[in-house]
Chain A
Amino acid sequence: MKIKVCGLKHSKNIKELTQLPIDYAGFIFYPKSPRYVGEEFDAAIPALFSKSTRKVGVFVNEELDVLLAKGKKYKLDAMQLHGGESAEYCRKVKEAGFEVIKAFQMNDSFQFESLEKYGNVCDFFLFDTKTENYGGSGRKFNWELLENYKGSIPFFLSGGIGAQDAEQIKQLSHDKLYALDLNSGFELQPAKKNADQLEIFLNKLELNTMNKDKYAVDERGYYGEFGGAYIPELLRKNVDELQENYLKILASEQFKKDYARLLDNYVGRPTPLTKAGNLSKRYGTNIYLKREDLTHTGAHKINNTIGQILLAKYMGKKRIIAETGAGQHGVATATVCALFGLECIVYMGALDVERQAPNVARMKMLGAKVVPAISGNQTLKDATNEAIRDWIANPESFYLIGSVVGPHPYPDLVTRLQSIISKEIREQLEKETGNPNPNYVIACVGGGSNAAGAFYHYLNEKDVNLVAVEASGLGVESGETAATITIGDIGFIHGSKTMLMQDDDGQITEPYSISAGLDYPGVGPLHAHLAVSGRAQFLSATDEEALNAAKVLAESEGIIPALESSHALAVLEKMQFKKDDVVVINLSGRGDKDMETYMKKFN
C-alpha cells in the first residue's frame, strides 16, 4: 500500500518528513482550503522530497491553463482533481503528461456506476468523505461502501484517517485499494504535520509486509494460483518443520546479524552497480550492471546458501543435501558447508558432471561428495529428483535448494535471501541518479532466483518494468529449448504448482540450453504468477544470441559474463530504450566456468 500525505506547505515541516516512506506528497492549490499553499508558494519546496516521492497538486474546478501552468512551475507528477471535473477535463490533464487522481465524495447513495466514464482517463480514483466543501472534513465515511466498488482503477482511501485507524486499515482487503491519503488526522495545525505521529502510524501499518502482498506468498505458499507444497506424505514433516521455522529464524536478531556479517565480509557485499558506458553508447541508453559476478564463488547463488546454512545450523541439522546444474549452486553449497563444518552431498546430473568439470573439481576440493544423477536425462531436473529422494530417505538432513523452486517455503525463502540484490540496487541507484527506481530490471531465469532477487523490491513499483529472460536453446520452435513460460503450461514439478514443459500426457519433457544453469523444465511459482498476471515481461534468448552477447560485453566492458547472465544481456538487442531510460541488468555470475564453451565458439 502506498502512502500519500496531503496538505503540505512549510519547508521546515517537510524536512521532518523526508525520511518517512511517503510515496505521494500533496500540495493544495485550492484557495478556499485552509491548507492552500498560497500565491507566493516557493517552487523549491516540493523539490525537498526525493524523486521517488511523487508530487501531487490538488485542484478544485480550476481553469485547465492555470492547472497546467502550476504543474509545470512546481514540477508536479500527478493532479488530484477534487471538484466536479468532467471526464473530458481529466483526459486533457492526462494527455498533458500528468498522472490523474480523480476524487469522489462518498455517502450511502453514491453511485459507483457513475465512475465508468472516468475509467480510461484516470490513473487512480480517490474516495473521500462527502462534505459541503470539497473534502477536508476530518471525518471518515462508511468504509463498507467500498465493497460496492468493482471497477479496475486502483484507488486512494481518504477522509479523516487518523492514528487510531491502523488496525482497521490492516483488515481492509479490497484488491484495488492502492494508497492511503493522510491529512488532518496527523496535524499539529492546518498544513503542519506531526512527523512523530506519522512515523508511529506508518510503522504500525507494517508497510513492508503489506506492500509485498500482491506478489508475496500466502500462508499456504501460493503466489496467485501457483506454488503450494505438492509433496508426498514422506516429506510432510520435513517441509512442515521448515515452514514453521523459516520466518521466525529469518526475523531473529541473531540471524540478521550473522547473515549481514557474512554477506559483508565473506561474500563481499555490497556488490558494485557498474555503469556500463560503452554498452550504454551502443544501445543509446543508460545501462547499469549489478555485479553478482564479483561475489565469492562467482555467482548470486552464494547469497542463498549463506542464508540457508544459517537456517540449517539454527535448526540443528548436520547433513546438507543439494542439487546443482551448472555447479554454481553446488560450489556455493560446498563452500558454506566447509565454512560451517557440515557434511555436504551434491547431486548433479551425470551429463552436467561432464559439461561442468571445473565446478566438480571445486566441489570436491571443498570436501563435498558429488553424486552423479543417472536417472532420466541426467541433468538438473534429475539431480533435483535425486536430492529429494535422498531427503525422503534421510529426513534428518537439510535440503538446501538452489533456486526459487520446490515446495513452499523454498520459493519464498530463497526469494527473501536473494532480495539483497534489489535492496542494494535501490540504494545504489538512488545515490547515482537520485531515483531508486530504474525503468527496466532485466535478469535471466532458470529456476528464477537471481531474477526474483533483482525484482523483489520493485514488485509493487509499477513504473519499473521487469524483464525475465529464459533460454530458448536452439529456438522456441525447435523443440530444443528451455523457454518454459513461452511453451509450457500449468503443472506440478518438484512439489510446486507452476508453469512447466510437458507433453500432452503430463510427462515432463527435457529442456535444452547451452547453459547448464538455465536447463530446467519448470520455473519458480513467483515467476509463473508474474508472467500470468502480466507484471513481468518474459523474453527469451537463443544459445547463439547469448554467446554473441557475452562477446559484446567482454569486448566493450572487459567483463566475461556467465553463460546464464549472457541471456539477459542478449535481449538488449531486441528491446527499444529511450535515451534517458535507466536499465539495470543483473549480471548473475562470471564466465570462468564457461570458458571452454566460449573458446569453442570464438576460436
Chain B
Amino acid sequence: MNRIDQLFQNKQKDILSIYFPAGYPKLEDTLPTLQLLQDKGVDLVEIGIPFSDPLADGPVIQTAAKQALDNGMTLQILFDQLKDARKSITMPLILMGYWNTVYKFGVDAFLAECQKVGIDGVILPDLPLEEYQEEYKAKFEAAGVHNVLLVTPQTTDKRLVTIEKAASGFLYMVSTASTTGGALQASKEREDYFKKIAALDIPSLIGFGIHDKVSFQHAASFSNGAIIGTAFIKALEKGNAAEFLESLQ
C-alpha cells in the first residue's frame, strides 16, 4: 500500500508535514535532514526539487533553491542520494517541484526512479489538471505515485468538484492567496474555506504561512494536519532545525 494512504488510514489528526529543498544548505544534507525529520516524529516529508524559476515561492524558498542549485543539486543527484533512503526512512516521501524539470528529465524515467527509491507522491503545482489527466495520469497510477493537487481560496466550487474527483492521496489546501512564506491571517471567510475543503471525501493538509506551534494547531484543527516549509528552512539555515521541530511538539 502507498505510504501516504497508510498514513491517513492510521492517523487523522495533527499530521505534521515538512517541506525542504533537496541539497540544502549543503549538497549532501538531503539524507541527514530526512533522518532528523523522522527521528523528531514528522509524519510526512515533501522534498523540493530545486528550480531556477519557482513561480509560486516566496523569497526564502527562492533563495534556498538557488543555494541548492549553486551546490550542484540536480534531479538525478537527488535520486542517487535517495537510493538507499528506504533502508532507514519509513515516512511517506513526496517530491515537490516544477513541471519543467520533470518534463526535461523525462516522465517515464522520472516515474521509474520514483518507484526505485520509494517515492509515494508528487506535487507539481504548474502541471495543469487537464494535461495531467489526458497524458500522464495512467503512467503515474501504474507507478503507484500520487499526484497531489492544490486547492486555494480562489478555487471555484465548480472546479472543486473536478479536483475532488481527480485527487489522489490528499488535497494540499493553500491557506491564503500568496506565494510561500506569507503570514496566515485568520478570518471567518478563511475558516469557512477550510471547513468546506475538510468536508470533502479526501484528506487534506493546510499549507502556506504555517510557521510555529500556534499556527500549526490552528490549521490542524480544521483539517487532517498542516505543512511547514519556509519556517523550517529558516531553521535549517540557522542550524537549529532540531530545536525548531521540538518546539512544534
Contacts and interface: CB of A to CB of B under 8 A. Distances in A.
Contacts of A232: 55-56, 125-126, 150
B154 A389 contact: no
B52 A389 contact: no
Interface in A358-388: 375-376, 381, 385, 388
B105 A234 contact: no
Contacts of A393: 177-179, 182
A508 B100 contact: yes
Contacts of B127: 230
Contacts of A231: 55, 126, 128
A392 B178 contact: yes
A537 to B, nearest CB: 27
B125 A506 contact: no
Interface in B150-177: 150-152, 154-156, 159, 174, 177
Contact of A392 (B66, B99, B131, B179): B179
Interface stretch (A110-118, A130-138, A490-498): A490-498
A158 interface: no
A337 B178 CA distance: 25
Contacts of B59: 375
A234 B154 contact: yes
B100 A492 contact: yes
B101 A506 contact: yes
B100 A233 contact: no
Contacts of A506: 51, 75, 100-105
Contacts of B53: 376, 381, 385, 493, 508
Interface in B24-57: 51-53, 55-56
Contact of B156 (A220, A237, A491, A492): A237
B130 A389 contact: no
B125 A491 contact: no
Contact of B56 (A228, A234, A375, A394): A234
A204 interface: no
B74 A505 contact: yes
A109 interface: no
Contacts of A229: 128
A502 interface: yes
B104 A233 contact: no
A491 B104 contact: yes
Contacts, number: 106
A261 interface: no
Using C-beta atoms within 8 Å of the partner chain, give the interface range for chain B.
35 or more
A233 B51 CA distance: 18
Contact of B130 (A220, A492, A507): A220
B62 interface: yes
Nearest to A506: B104
A224 interface: no
Interface in B187-246: none
B114 interface: no
A228 B51 CA distance: 20
A494 B53 CA distance: 9
Contact of B51 (A234, A240, A381, A507): A507
Given A231-B126, A389-B179, A236 B62 contact: no
A495 B154 contact: no
A395 interface: yes
Contact of B125 (A233, A238, A375, A376): A233
Contacts of B103: 490-492, 506
B178 to A, nearest CB: 5
B91 interface: no
B174 A234 contact: yes
A385 B102 CA distance: 20
Contacts of B182: 393
Given A230-B99, A233-B174, A395 B126 contact: no
Interface in B56-114: 56, 58-59, 62, 66, 69, 74-76, 98-105
Given A502-B104, A505-B75, A506-B101, A392 B52 contact: no
Contacts of B151: 233
A492 B100 CA distance: 5
A495 B126 contact: yes
Interface string A238-253: 1010000000000000
B55 A385 contact: yes
Contacts of B69: 507
A369 to B, nearest CB: 19
Nearest to B172: A233
Contacts of A233: 125, 149-152, 155, 174
Contacts of A493: 53, 100
Contacts of A230: 99, 126-128, 131
Interface in A486-516: 490-495, 502, 504-509
| Closest CB pairs A-B (n = 4) | A506-B104, A506-B101, A232-B125, A237-B154
18 contacts: A220-B130, A230-B99, A233-B125, A233-B151, A233-B174, A234-B152, A237-B154, A392-B56, A392-B177, A490-B103, A491-B100, A492-B99, A492-B100, A502-B104, A505-B75, A505-B105, A507-B52, A508-B53
Given A232-B126, A506-B103, 17 more contacts: A220-B130, A230-B127, A231-B126, A233-B125, A233-B152, A234-B154, A240-B156, A376-B52, A388-B55, A392-B55, A392-B177, A492-B99, A494-B55, A502-B104, A507-B101, A508-B52, A509-B52
